[in-house]
Structure 1
Amino acid sequence: MINSTSMPQISIYDYEKAVTPTDRFADDEITPILLGLFGEVGSVMSSSKKLHREKGAFESGYRRDVEEELGDTLWYAAALCRRLKLTLSELFVEATSGDQFVANITANSDPSAPIARVMTAKGLGPLDNVLLKLGQDSARLLGVKADEKTAKPIMIEFVRAYIQAVQSSGVSFSEVLESNIRKSTGRFLKPSPDCLPDFDAGFLAEEQLPRQFEIEITQRSNGRSYLRWNGVFIGDPLTDNIADPDGYRFHDVFHFANAAILHWSPTFRALIKHKRKSDPRVDEAQDSGRAIVVDEGVSAYIFSEAKALNFFESQNSVSFDLLKAVSNFVRGYEVERCPLNLWETAILQGYEVFRQMRKNNGGIVVGNRDKRTIEYRPLKGA
């Protein structure tokens, strides 16, 4: 289905307009766009393969994965259209004008557009066959040139196969588009501070993460690190807990970065006893042991990736795959409302402080939730 009066609606034109600013490729770069498009189609087909192989074990995640991969596929198709001087919305109109689609005129919920035309692909075969056709049409695009006249018929055929794949997959097309807009804009566009979540602003001060804080981290001769906040030791002394020392004894820095920049860290809340106990539901779902495990798990996972990248030194970005993995990790918790761009900021700033902490065997973490920043300051006399 291209349009549905029972679901929130979004036009292809509005989708194009929303994702255009997230395209960071050069205007004359076509090859990486084609490779990305072909790769995403392959991911859609791979999800179908997993459904066959693992059946019930994968079925619950199938819809989510397919929605994401179909959204990414359309993102690359829109990017390719921009380079071919084609309009994606016009391609959709032409792709559905043939006898492979049936149209129904329906009443629309938008007063300014009372009539909507709902298009449905007819005579669809099994999903596998539809996806094979999508794969074949995406392969034809690999040889496309930056020539509107020759590229347009191939693009129309691809869009037609794409629509059929969406329908056969049984997903909501509007959700495919909306999710992809959230994902791409959240990753590539700097969020407005006014639009960012603040998870404890409505709670009493003793149940909030501190708006500004300084945490002193010192390392003693036994190799253990100690935390002190407002002159009081908090938490347990830490070692690296690994045969090859790597500085993980200072990993609380990442929880402090999350607190300052994301306004989220169940671990930090527990350390300073600032759980939101006045609301039992929030305390149970967001500040409990499971949420703390998620916070610790995210920290450990990112750390394992960062070790192979020299702890992000001299880097000004984090891979999209890493950010997507983190997003999946925190699904179901309040922090999932934070855009990927903000996660990237928290990771990069946190590791900037961590590298200095590791180099100097301690220091002071300075966090500012109002500015969403975290900084390093040396210990006195260091």
Structure 2
Amino acid sequence: MTVSDNSMNILLSDYEIAVAPTDRFKKSDITPILFGLFGEVGSVMSASKKRQREESAFAGYMRDVEEEFGDTLWYVSALCRRFEIDLSKLFLEAINGSGYTLSVIANDDPGSPVAKAVTKADLAPLDILLLRLGKQSANLLSLGDNPTNAKSHLLDFVKLYIDAVQASKVSFAAIVRGNIVKVRGRFLKPSIESLPDFDLNFSEEEQLPRKFRIEITQRANSRSYLRWKGVFIGDPLSDNIGDPDGYRFHDVFHFANAAVLHWSPTFRALIKHKRKSDKDVDEAQDSGRAIVIEEGLTAYIFSYAKTLNLFEGQTSVSFDLLKAVENFVRGYEVEDCPLHLWESAILQGYDVFRKVHEHNGGVIIGDREKRTLSFEPVEAKEV
């Protein structure tokens, strides 16, 4: 563990500043934070258990451990804010205790030429450290009723946390940076100017349309039809399930992805706006596999949404669902979109979908500049 700031490292004081706006709990809320911390330690244990059980088959171990350690740090930081404890000073006090070796290293940041590397030679095995960390997180639960000696309890926890991070062989800097990206992307509304636009540098005929109106109609055969600029696109769709659920209108979700995320390989294929001028982009982002990913993700979210009345009345989306979405699109350009934007795409898409389902059709209006999707009813007619 390095206490410094260079091109790879990050100051814990900067971390505190970055994540503080993502804390939506009341300042008086201590018990929910303690429960969250206890749960995240359990998640680290779960990842370790999976690695032992599945060995090399558990390819996501390092990524999962980084994420869970990051979430644990978030809850430690949240507790420090409530008890008015400086997180950086808490870590500094922990590593200045016995058992740690401090090495002076040359830093590649001209503004901070010297740093300290902190190591512990006689570490217990990771599983033992995680058990100790779990026990200490259980001890912290008592702070909900009796917050006395909060600093002492947190200091003991942080010492074990540092040891567990070292034993896990993951980068603490990666843990911290990753958690900043994750929580800010999930809980803070991004400015439109900061969001990616994946086809901005391509010609208009290779871009998703900046604004679009697409009419969805249903014929007597219960199949849905799409029409854009007066021309039918795609194939007629049915629900393809024994218990009709409206999935014949699922293209609405592709339109939501296009309008809000600026991403939809399925919509690109429908209107023949693939980015063929760049062979690599066309192959990796706009072709068959990317289309399958979007279709699979759409079906997965729909199955989940059916258990929640298609998100009716919902103002947010489960973090677990958003994390599943994140895993689905890993390796594709849309992974650069923050989770908050995914939440917006999902909620807007389902708001329009429910209206289309109710009216058995309608006009879908997408505005990529505003990143919005809306609905207009039309008279039912045969086309």
Q: Normalised by the size of structure 2, how large is the TM-score?
A: 0.97
Structure 2 residue matching 1:143: 3-state secondary structure: helix
Deviations 1:132-151, CA, capped at 9 Å, x for gaps:
11111111111125877511
Structure 1 residue matching 2:320: 3-state secondary structure: helix
Matches of 2:105 and 2:55 in 1, distance apart?
Answer: 37
**Unaligned 5+ residue runs, structure 2?**
none
Structure 1 residue matching 2:108: 3-state secondary structure: coil
Structure 1 residue matching 2:115: 3-state secondary structure: strand
Matches of 1:6 and 1:185 in 2, distance apart?
Answer: 21
Bigger mean CA offset, 107-116 vs 175-184: 107-116
Does 2:361 align with 1:328?
no
**What is aligned with 1:31?**
31
- Per the TM alignment, residue 7 of structure 1 is displaced from its structure 2 partner at its CA by 6.3
Contact between 2:6 and 2:107, CA under 8 Å: does it hold in 1?
no
- Per the TM alignment, residue 130 of structure 1 is displaced from its structure 2 partner at its CA by 1.3
**What is aligned with 2:213?**
214
Contact between 2:211 and 2:368, CA under 8 Å: does it hold in 1?
yes
Query: What one-letter code is carried by the residue in structure 1 that aligns with 2:152?
Result: P
**What is aligned with 2:102?**
103
Deviations 1:150-180, CA, capped at 9 Å, x for gaps:
1111100100000111100010110100010
Matches of 2:216 and 2:49 in 1, distance apart?
Answer: 50
Matches of 1:219 and 1:157 in 2, distance apart?
Answer: 64
Query: What one-letter code is carried by the residue in structure 1 that aligns with 2:186?
Result: R
- Per the TM alignment, residue 111 of structure 1 is displaced from its structure 2 partner at its CA by 2.4
Identity %: 64
**What is aligned with 1:350?**
349
- Per the TM alignment, residue 75 of structure 1 is displaced from its structure 2 partner at its CA by 0.5
**What is aligned with 2:18?**
18
**What is aligned with 1:48?**
48
Matches of 2:301 and 2:2 in 1, distance apart?
Answer: 39
Structure 1 residue matching 2:232: 3-state secondary structure: strand
Matches within 5 A, 1:1-382: 1-3=1-3, 8-58=8-58, 60-145=59-144, 150-380=149-379
Q: Normalised by the size of structure 1, how large is the TM-score?
A: 0.97
Count of aligned pairs between the two proteins: 381
**Taking structure 1 as reference, are residues 251 and 330 closer, same or farther at Cα in structure 2, changes over 3 Å only?**
same
Deviations 1:17-64, CA, capped at 9 Å, x for gaps:
100000011111111111110000000011111111111111x21100
Structure 1 residue matching 2:81: 3-state secondary structure: helix
Matches of 1:169 and 1:4 in 2, distance apart?
Answer: 21
Query: What one-letter code is carried by the residue in structure 2 that aligns with 1:361?
Result: N
Contact between 1:224 and 1:237, CA under 8 Å: does it hold in 2?
yes
In angstroms, what is the RMSD of aligned CA positions? 1.4
Structure 2 residue matching 1:109: 3-state secondary structure: strand
Contact between 1:124 and 1:168, CA under 8 Å: does it hold in 2?
yes
Query: What one-letter code is carried by the residue in structure 2 that aligns with 1:15?
Result: Y
Contact between 1:261 and 1:372, CA under 8 Å: does it hold in 2?
yes
**Taking structure 1 as reference, are residues 43 and 121 closer, same or farther at Cα in structure 2, changes over 3 Å only?**
same
Matches of 1:288 and 1:121 in 2, distance apart?
Answer: 50
Runs of 4+ in 1 over 6 A off after TM superposition: 4-7
Matches of 1:275 and 1:284 in 2, distance apart?
Answer: 10
Contact between 2:7 and 2:108, CA under 8 Å: does it hold in 1?
no
Matches of 1:30 and 1:181 in 2, distance apart?
Answer: 22
**Unaligned 5+ residue runs, structure 1?**
none
